[in-house]
Amino acid sequence: MTRSALRSASIPVAPAGVDSAALIEGRRVLRMEAEAIEALAESLDQAFVDVIERLASVQGRVVVTGMGKSGHIGRKIAATLASTGTPAMFVHPAEASHGDLGMIAAQDAVLALSNSGETPELADLVAYTRRFNILLVAITRVPESTLGKAADLVLRLPDRPEACALGLAPTTSTTATLALGDALAVALLQERGFTPADFRIFHPGGKLGSRLIRVEQLMHQGSDLPIVRPDAKVADALMVISAKRLGCTGVVDDAGRLVGVVTDGDIRRRMTPDIFGMPVEAIMTTDPRQVGPGTLAAEALAVMNGSERPFTALFVVDAGRPVGVVHVHDCLRAGVA
């Protein structure tokens, strides 16, 4: 028998249909943490509303702090707050005692995380907020703790055991804290009236950034805009379509309003010996699909793909007048899909 076969033979395999111990344990942990989040959701009360109102009125930043695993969760909460319209940063409590307290200003608020509420490293930072009357919000399982008593507002974590088999490793508590941080960030987002355009400012990169691009950032405009009059000959329209290389031309009236669109496909489908001498109004699509300059490129792409016969270019119109054309290839090159 080979070495690999010997190694394989020494590994116990659960019988078919029987869950392994690891699978059972994994499911147990996830269910415990899910139950803790459900308990947290049920326990939210006026204190949560009060925290949202106070944090929304803060003129400075929300300074998140926590030690150990709470610190790791705090960094993520600070990042989520900052990316959703609430200026925020993380300050390590131990570093705060050695000069980083200077990062916290009078107009800021402090969000302190501690499951027990008795984290000694938070002492100097808490004292600093009390000395300079800085808003202190605590997230803790024990409102009667040192941190809970010192805080202006307290958000209580559910009193649930840790999912660790020893009941010691921060698991359930950190998951609940993270979920509560997300709830704060999203509620503050709504409170501030944060829009997709605002989101785009903070998320210019990656897939998320591409989904928030607007058609005015991609559209062909100015001298690249294919336009003809209703009485122009189809032959002239074909010349414009060929020159602009967008597969279509808009048709505008005397006031410059978009009244129709002619595509190269329209010409091919109606090909007759006299087609090129006909006026474009005879073959144009009236009341064409169109979008405004502020439309998300993803929405424009959905319009192009959403009809019975998908098309590849869409006119961008402002006050009835064409200001640009966005092509499906422009969207794809920008990563919009």
The predicted structure's pLDDT at residue 63? 98
- Beta carbons within 10 angstroms of residue 266's beta carbon: 19
Q: Establish if 87 belongs to a structural domain.
A: yes
Mean pLDDT of the residues in the chain: 89
Low-confidence ranges of the chain (pLDDT < 50): 1, 4, 6-8
Q: Establish if 220 belongs to a structural domain.
A: yes
Name 296's Cβ contacts closer than 8 Å, sequence gap at least 6. 196, 211, 212, 213, 214, 215
Q: Per-residue pLDDT tens for 49-75? A: 999 999 999 999 999 999 999 999 999
User: pTM for this one?
Assistant: 0.64
Asked if residue 327 and residue 230 are part of one domain, the reply reads yes
Asked if residue 90 and residue 229 are part of one domain, the reply reads no
The predicted structure's pLDDT at residue 1? 46
The predicted structure's pLDDT at residue 310? 83
Q: Per-residue pLDDT tens for 108-127? A: 999 999 999 999 999 999 99
Number of folded domains that form the chain? 2
Q: How far apart are CA 38 and CA 282, in angstroms?
A: 63
Name 216's Cβ contacts closer than 8 Å, sequence gap at least 6. 293, 294, 316, 324
Among 163, 194, 225, residue at a domain's last position: 194
The predicted structure's pLDDT at residue 176? 97
Nearest Cα to 303, choosing from 317, 289, 322, 287?
289
Report the amino acid identity of residue 274.
Answer: D
Asked if residue 30 and residue 166 are part of one domain, the reply reads yes
CATH of the domain at 317: 3.10.580.10
CB 134 within 8 A of CB 106: yes
Asked if residue 265 and residue 118 are part of one domain, the reply reads no
Asked if residue 247 and residue 138 are part of one domain, the reply reads no
Name 307's Cβ contacts closer than 8 Å, sequence gap at least 6. 289
Asked if residue 48 and residue 183 are part of one domain, the reply reads yes
Domain that includes residue 57, residue range: 20-194
Asked if residue 163 and residue 88 are part of one domain, the reply reads yes
Asked if residue 250 and residue 126 are part of one domain, the reply reads no
Put residue 313 in one of left, alpha, beta given phi > 0 → left and psi -120 to 50 → alpha: beta
